[in-house]
Structure 1
């Protein structure tokens, strides 16, 4: 009998039974009050009058009226640059210990987002909550004795002035609790290897030394790692190498586009649990098996607001119009796309994280990620969100029995007329013209705005198919492989020209 596993599972079951369910709405009110009280004497808190905001009972409304929205560039220029220069008490008391480097999607210029000790503790606490939620899943006792492969960015953080910096997955992994280190793979030495290809090659070489029960990371990079492990050991599936693999905690992007290709690498059923860890904080995780939605972390260092995702509220650069209305958790509705706004213990205030979400269960505060504010194609009134694009591609996968884990597109002019030019990452041999017809038809049936646009300014759809690996090489050429790097789903004209030149060179 797996004695240690029984003890751990028993502790999780006990914790789950005694943790009371409180109201997410009340939790959010408490979080905002605590944030405002803690930061009232910072430069930001004094400038926006946090003490006065706290005076009335409707301090949530006062907060939304007195403090403007900030995207990264506004927050950095107006406030965080002073933190970077070493000044204290700017948007949060003291100084942050870390800066998370994030470009979100591939790009050569990284954002530097402050990560305070309070945020490190909040991420760690939420991680423990997620482990506790495993009690809701039907996992055998011996699972809790297996090791966990966490494939993130390098934990070898860079020193810059008085701060340490790296991607949030590397920062988090470098702060794992001491009691967890025995379960954590690939281990500290391999995790410090900055070169992603070298790190994966080392993992593949040593894979059979470990008894992996769970994987954790971004699906695209996890798939590449699994393929390397399978190839190195001349195996059929990943379960030939790690027979006890039972769980994959997916993060960073939606898992659905990768589900078909991921499961083909497995020899057994794997439970997939979605998580939402961003550079700005641990935002949500899947709490129960009956749904693929994730529960917002409403009681741990982050206050959420929600702006209806409508074209009139989104500027061309993806930022928000200051007159866009913000809703609290008490005001949202299900099945409506919202731009996610956060205020955090790292000193981000009414911060546009760049993601759009929709509630699947308001009472439980459960959400799904529906896209990015910058990945919203409305050049000729088509109003295409990433969620609608993904849905259309999943239908095409079923229709043609193919896999399309990656894609990008742009609105381009062909012979003086606007077209949507899609690049699909697939090994399928279906003719591109046939894929274009099916994609166009599916989108017209599902999206009335798109159908109207197709009858007017949007004259057609063009599809180009390329191997999925081209997308990963593009990521490597523009930034680096692995970690938090994600593919742009919608490109502007200049970036799309660079992409097409890169594809041409890769395929020659």
Structure 2
């Protein structure tokens, strides 16, 4: 048994026994009071009367009454633009040293989200909590001596005046603690490479020099990297290169769509641990093995609020209207979908991050991401969320023994009638017509609103199967490969027309 690994495991086990779980309601109130206190002298804090909110008898209620909802466009247009004009103390004290670039899945251009030193400190603290939670997964001592492959965007950030810009994975990797750097792969030199294909080629060339015990990154890009390493070394699976690989820390998107194709690259099962690290902060991580849900980080710089996920509260652009009610953490219920709002130490306030979640265990404050507000397909009353779409596709995978890691769809009008037009990324001999029928039936079973829509305004379902690689090519064409880039699941008609033209061009050239 490795001595160093035993020492590290012992420290983690001891820390897990010593650190007690805070009371959630008290912890969240303390976070909110800390946020308001620190930002009360900012332009935002003065405008919305943070001093007055802090003196109120019910701080959470008064905060919700006085400060409106913000999505990125509103917060940037009204406040954050001032940071780029040289102002300081705008929504948080001082000026942020970094901006996280996030085009997300629907934006035409990159969002620029402030990342303060306070946020970097909060991310580091949550990272330590996550490492501490590894003691719950019964990993052998020698695991703690292995290296970790963190596949993200370039750590070579762009200097823009008085700050630097890059994706949050690159910013975070560039600020990892000194004691962790010896475990971190692909290392500083390769991590700075901007070009995705070049970076993955260098990883493949060096793969045999590393003893990787854990992987971390978005599933779609991690899968492509593993395939490249396997292909380069002419082996059957990744365990022939990294025999001690035992853990994959995923995040950014649901892992279930990628599970079958990802597992096909392995020789033996590995532990999959989900995380919720967004450009706006490190929100949650999976704390224990007997669940696939993640525990909200309730005591580290993020105050959470929840809006019931109902069609009447959502505008066409995915934002929420002013009539939408808000619920605090102590009033949420299990298995109900909520739109997530956060206020953070980076100066986001009642901020619509764009994700929908549900609580699987209220007592443990464990959640699952169920979709995106902009991916809520409700053109003709079908009220389809991404989790319902994913569930239906998992049924197709099981029924036909196929893998469908990627998909996108839109509501289209043909001869005046609405159809849901799906593109499935899969290699299969099953006909598009049969898959369309199976998908339609699965959705009818899972969603009563969809079933009603299919009997009225929604005429039918169309499916076209394409190579999964085309989804990555599309992402590379419109944004860039790797990092935090995620494929949009639901497109509007304008975007879908461009997507179909892209697919047609690829088919004509092949």
Into which bin does the TM-score normalised by the smaller protein fall? over 0.9
Structure 1 residues 301-310 or 18-27, which shifts more? 18-27
Distance in structure 2 (CA, Å) of the matches to 1:470 and 1:214:
28
Distance in structure 1 (CA, Å) of the matches to 2:363 and 2:439:
36
SS of corresponding position for 2:404? coil
Distance in structure 2 (CA, Å) of the matches to 1:289 and 1:142:
19
8 A Cα contact 1:155 1:171, kept in partner: yes
Give the deviation of 1:433 after TM superposition.
0.1
Answering whether residue 495 of structure 2 is matched by residue 490 of structure 1, we say no
Answering whether residue 65 of structure 2 is matched by residue 52 of structure 1, we say no
Inter-CA distance 171–249: structure 2 relative to 1 (3 Å threshold): same
> What residue number does 1:376 align with?
376
Answering whether residue 490 of structure 2 is matched by residue 481 of structure 1, we say no
> What residue number does 1:31 align with?
31
- For these two proteins, the number of residue pairs brought into alignment is 508
Q: TM-score, normalised by structure 1?
A: 0.99
> What residue number does 2:296 align with?
296
Which consecutive aligned stretches of 4+ in structure 1 deviate over 2 angstroms post-superposition? none
> What residue number does 1:72 align with?
72
Q: Deviations over 1:415-472 (max 9, x none)?
A: 2210000000001111000000000011111111001100111000000000000000
> What residue number does 1:157 align with?
157
Distance in structure 2 (CA, Å) of the matches to 1:315 and 1:276:
25
8 A Cα contact 1:157 1:165, kept in partner: yes
> What residue number does 2:464 align with?
464
Distance in structure 1 (CA, Å) of the matches to 2:168 and 2:296:
19
Give the deviation of 1:412 after TM superposition.
0.3
Distance in structure 2 (CA, Å) of the matches to 1:105 and 1:191:
23
1:197-276 alignment to 2 at 5 Å? 197-276=197-276
SS of corresponding position for 1:439? helix
> What residue number does 2:350 align with?
350
* C-alpha RMSD of matched pairs (Å): 0.7
Answering whether residue 401 of structure 2 is matched by residue 401 of structure 1, we say yes
Distance in structure 1 (CA, Å) of the matches to 2:392 and 2:77:
39
SS of corresponding position for 1:298? coil
8 A Cα contact 1:343 1:351, kept in partner: yes
Q: TM-score, normalised by structure 2?
A: 0.99
> What residue number does 1:338 align with?
338
SS of corresponding position for 1:330? helix
> What residue number does 1:62 align with?
62
Give the deviation of 1:94 after TM superposition.
0.4
Give the deviation of 1:321 after TM superposition.
0.2
> What residue number does 1:430 align with?
430
> What residue number does 2:10 align with?
10
SS of corresponding position for 2:375? coil
Give the deviation of 1:505 after TM superposition.
1.1
8 A Cα contact 1:106 1:478, kept in partner: no
> What residue number does 2:135 align with?
135
> What residue number does 1:411 align with?
411
8 A Cα contact 1:107 1:479, kept in partner: no
Give the deviation of 1:137 after TM superposition.
0.3
8 A Cα contact 1:106 1:475, kept in partner: no
SS of corresponding position for 1:484? coil
Q: Deviations over 1:457-493 (max 9, x none)?
A: 1000000000000000000000000000000000000
8 A Cα contact 1:308 1:339, kept in partner: yes
SS of corresponding position for 1:277? strand
Distance in structure 2 (CA, Å) of the matches to 1:447 and 1:234:
45
Distance in structure 2 (CA, Å) of the matches to 1:189 and 1:261:
30
Distance in structure 2 (CA, Å) of the matches to 1:363 and 1:45:
33
Distance in structure 2 (CA, Å) of the matches to 1:175 and 1:447:
44
SS of corresponding position for 1:322? coil
Distance in structure 2 (CA, Å) of the matches to 1:236 and 1:186:
22
Give the deviation of 1:25 after TM superposition.
1.8
The runs of 5 or more residues in structure 1 that have no matched partner are none
Distance in structure 2 (CA, Å) of the matches to 1:238 and 1:153:
22
> What residue number does 1:444 align with?
444
Give the deviation of 1:107 after TM superposition.
4.8
Q: Deviations over 1:310-343 (max 9, x none)?
A: 0000000001101211100011000000000000
Inter-CA distance 246–353: structure 2 relative to 1 (3 Å threshold): same
Distance in structure 1 (CA, Å) of the matches to 2:85 and 2:305:
30
SS of corresponding position for 2:371? strand
